[in-house]
Structure 1
Amino acid sequence: MNPARLAVVVLVGLVLQVSLFSRFSYDGARPDVMILLALAGGFVLGSDRGAVVGFASGLAFDILLTTPLGLSALVYTLVAYSVGAIGDSVLRSTFWIVPLVAAAGSAVGMILYAVVAEVFGQPAFSGPPLTAIVVVVSAVNAVLAPLAVRAMRWVRQSEADNRRHPYFIR
């Protein structure tokens, strides 16, 4: 895993989340691309490195939110680790696995976020309905999942992989 590439992907995801996806709304619910990066990190990089991606994307998003610092980081870390642990036993050869994992992981992540927010005393259920949040986030993340997985594969690629390529030029 290349940390500089991870920082670039998280930063691009954060900019897209704040500038583009925050403008889309259905019944008050907005897409959450940062949890998609965490899910893709767990799916591509495995449970341990996926947890690092989940923590990084969650902490980057927490800096911009008014919720307690670390709430998104905690949830995204748990979801990314779980997807990475489950992903080791899942057959990855079919095209529909990635959107399915993204949709299911996003739904679980949003429900877990609401539960953890209630535990920490945040009014998670005072905004848009939880069902609208789960549907919007799951649908958008299922569509964007192949792009996020491709970005995480780019993060996984190292300089040693580039040198092994037959057309690598120094």
Structure 2
Amino acid sequence: MRVNRILLSSSLIVVALVIQVSVLARLHLPGAVPDLLLLTVLGLALVYGHVGGALVGFAAGLLVDLAPPADHAAGRYALVLCVIGYLAGLVKPESGQVKSATGPMVVVVAAALGSTLLYAGVGALVGDTAARHVGLGGLLFTAALYDLLLAPFVVPGVMALARRAENDPLAETSSTAKAGDVSSGWISGGTGLRIGGQRSGLRMKAARARMARAGRIKGVKRL
């Protein structure tokens, strides 16, 4: 199961990063850039929980920090996505299935705002003042808007793939075999009861026949 998580998370993160760098970043939309990688981390965190979400977020953020054309300090976005993945994993549904789209949409908006604020805050600590020149208010609004519009096409699909990867075919096969053993046990037990019942019925009939014969013999002697 852990191998499935690693393989699926790595594949989704690489695909999301390639699409974001090669397609979304070149759209030149006003304000922020749609964060496909953030939505991928959110979808995985809502299935894997807070620990898995933090690990996936850290790995995804570190890949962004090292991938060209990175223009910020390494580890900055890794810290942001690690915190966001951990917090998103805390609201993982107990049943593992989301009953309505309201919860994930709220998580997406909160993650978009929180990641932008946290990224700007970490940048201010290391001397990066780019967010002040661009306008933090515009970045927050456009980041939440773009991610919210993109989320219905990304988050449900990522969650569905993560749930499917969680199902272990070996475990299903063993459980099916156990169920077959139990059912065969019930069948054999039922057959034994039937055979035993038939034998007891034959014995009762034989005993009744003997008693009837004895009664007849006694009656003849009396006569």
Output the TM-score relative to the length of structure 1.
Answer: 0.83
Which of the pair is proportionally richer in helix?
2
C-alpha contact (below 8 Å) 1:42/1:49 kept by paired residues: yes
How far apart are residue 72 of structure 1 and its match?
0.3
Decide whether the 8 Å contact of 1:35 with 1:76 is kept in 2: yes
Name 2:33's counterpart in structure 1. 30
The aligned counterpart of 2:181 is: none
Contact kept? 1:99, 1:143, Cα under 8 Å: no
Amino acid at match of 1:80: G
Range with greater deviation from structure 2 (104-113 or 150-159): 150-159
Equivalent position of 1:154 in the other structure: 161
* 2:81 matched residue in structure 1: 76
Please give the root-mean-square deviation of Cα atoms over the aligned residues, in Å.
2.5
Contact (CA 8 Å) 1:42, 1:50: kept in 2 or not? yes
* 8 Å contact from structure 2 (residues 44, 158) kept in 1: no
Greater gyration radius: 2
Kept in 2, the 8 Å contact 1:102–1:141? The answer is yes
Any conservation in 2 of the 1:27–1:128 contact (CA below 8 Å)? no
Q: Percent of pairs identical after alignment?
A: 27
Per-residue CA deviation, residues 27-64 of structure 1 (Å, 9 max, x unaligned), is 34322222222222222211000011111211111113
1:85–1:158 distance in 2 versus 1, CA, 3 Å: closer
**Which of the numbers 140, 144, 147 marks the counterpart of 2:150?**
144
Change (3 A) 1:29 1:78: same
Distance 2:102 2:27 in 1: 25
Match of 2:49?
46
Is the alpha carbon distance of 1:86 and 1:97 closer, same or farther for their aligned partners in structure 2, counting shifts above 3 Å?
Answer: closer
1:126: how far off? 4.3
2:115 is paired with a residue of what secondary structure?
helix
1:37 and 1:54 in contact (8 A); partners too: no
Question: When the two structures are aligned, how many residues end up with a matched partner?
Answer: 165
Query: Which whole-Å CA distance do the structure 2 matches of 1:80 and 1:40 have between them?
Result: 9
Instruction: Name stretches of at least 5 consecutive residues in structure 1 with no aligned partner.
Output: 166-170
Q: Which among 115, 119, 124 is matched to residue 118 of structure 1?
A: 124
Structure with bigger RCO (C-alpha 8 Å, 6+ apart): 1
Identify the range of structure 1 (143-152 vs 73-82) with the bigger mean alpha-carbon deviation.
143-152
2:112 corresponds to 1:109? no
Give the TM-score taking structure 2 as reference length.
Answer: 0.65
Uncovered stretches (5+) of structure 2, i.e. residues with no partner: 174-223
Give 1:85 deviation, angstroms. 1.4
Once the two structures are TM-superposed, the CA of residue 23 in structure 1 deviates from its matched residue by: 1.8
